[in-house]
């Protein structure tokens, strides 16, 4: 047993009842490009990349003058924290801010990794994962994991 919170959960002292996080069919459909296909936007006027997607460029204010551009899949950890508050069967949840190779930034959960090994500068990559269930479907999104050594 690696921590006391897990012990309390297995023992039944702490509730194991799942929270029911917000899910939305409409949002799933509307944001498919961004959340499932990792498309951000690149301004056709000034070339500024944005993820999450933006209709008005945050540099030159051009409206609806963008093309789809993918967020790079790999990058390096800029900063992070180990969250014991976020409900998880295996706390802590490591959240990392990552500067992607070639531009763009991602902020999300780091998985497949011993929290003690996480460091600023660590190379990581995006991996497609199943998230919570709600409204009769599973949410899917991206997590980070340490880069496989090639």
Partner 1 sequence: MSIKDRVAIIGVGATKFGENFEMTYQDMALEAVYEAYADAGLETKDMDAAWLGTLSPGLTGLEGDAGASLAEPLNFYPRPVTRVSAYCCSGMEAVRNAAFGVASGEYKMVLAVGVEKMREVPPRGSLVARHIHETHPVISKGRTAPGIFAPIATRYFHQYGYNKETLAKVAVKNHYNGSLNPKAHFRSPITEDTVLKAPMVVDPLGLFDCCPTTDGAAAAILTTPEIAKDLKKDYILIKGMGLAVTYGYFSMAFQEDNDFLGFKSTREAAATAYRQAGIKDPRKEIHVAEVHDCFTITELVNYEDLGFCGRGEGGKIIGEGVTALNGDLPVNTSGGLKSCGHPVGATGVRMVADVVNQMRGRSGKRQVKKADFGLTHTLGGPGSIACVFVLGRP
CA dihedral 48, 51, 56, 61 (to 10 degrees): -30
Tokens found for residue 2: 């690696």
For residues 42 and 67, is the Cβ–Cβ distance under 8 A?
A: yes
Of 10 and 137, nearer to partner 1 (C-beta) is 137
For position 20 contacting partner 1 by CB under 8 A, the verdict is yes
Site for partner 1 in 103-142 (CB under 8 A): 103-109, 120, 131-132, 134, 139-141
Q: With CB under 8 A, what is the number of residues at the site for partner 1?
A: 41
Task: Provide, rounded to whole angstroms, the least separation between the CB of residue 63 and partner 1.
Answer: 17
Task: Provide, rounded to whole angstroms, the least separation between the CB of residue 95 and partner 1.
Answer: 5
Q: Kindly list the distances between the CA atom of residue 23 and the CA atoms of 19, 28, 51, 135, in Å, as whole numbers in the listed order.
A: 12, 8, 21, 6
Helix (H) or strand (E) holding 89: none
Of 10 and 25, nearer to partner 1 (C-beta) is 25
Residue 6: CB atoms within 10 Å? 15
How does DSSP classify residue 113? S
Site for partner 1 in 62-91 (CB under 8 A): 78-87
Task: Provide, rounded to whole angstroms, the least separation between the CB of residue 141 and partner 1.
Answer: 4
Q: Which residues bind partner 1 (CB under 8 A)?
A: 19-24, 27-28, 35, 51-52, 78-87, 92-93, 95-97, 99, 103-109, 120, 131-132, 134, 139-141
């Amino acid at each position: 047993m690696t921590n006391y919170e897990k012990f309390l959960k297995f023992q039944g002292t702490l509730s194991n009842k799942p929270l029911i996080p917000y899910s939305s069919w409409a949002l799933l459909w509307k944001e498919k490009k961004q959340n499932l296909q990792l498309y951000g936007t690149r301004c056709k006027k000034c070339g500024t990349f944005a993820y999450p997607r933006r209709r008005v460029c945050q540099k030159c204010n051009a409206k609806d003058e963008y093309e789809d551009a993918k967020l790079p899949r790999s990058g390096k950890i800029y900063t992070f924290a180990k969250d014991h508050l976020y409900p998880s069967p295996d706390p802590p949840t490591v959240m990392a801010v990552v500067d992607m190779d070639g531009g763009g930034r991602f902020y999300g959960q780091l998985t497949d990794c011993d929290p003690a090994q996480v460091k600023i500068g660590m190379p990581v990559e995006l991996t497609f994962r199943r998230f919570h269930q709600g409204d009769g479907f599973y949410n899917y999104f991206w997590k980070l994991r340490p880069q496989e050594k090639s």
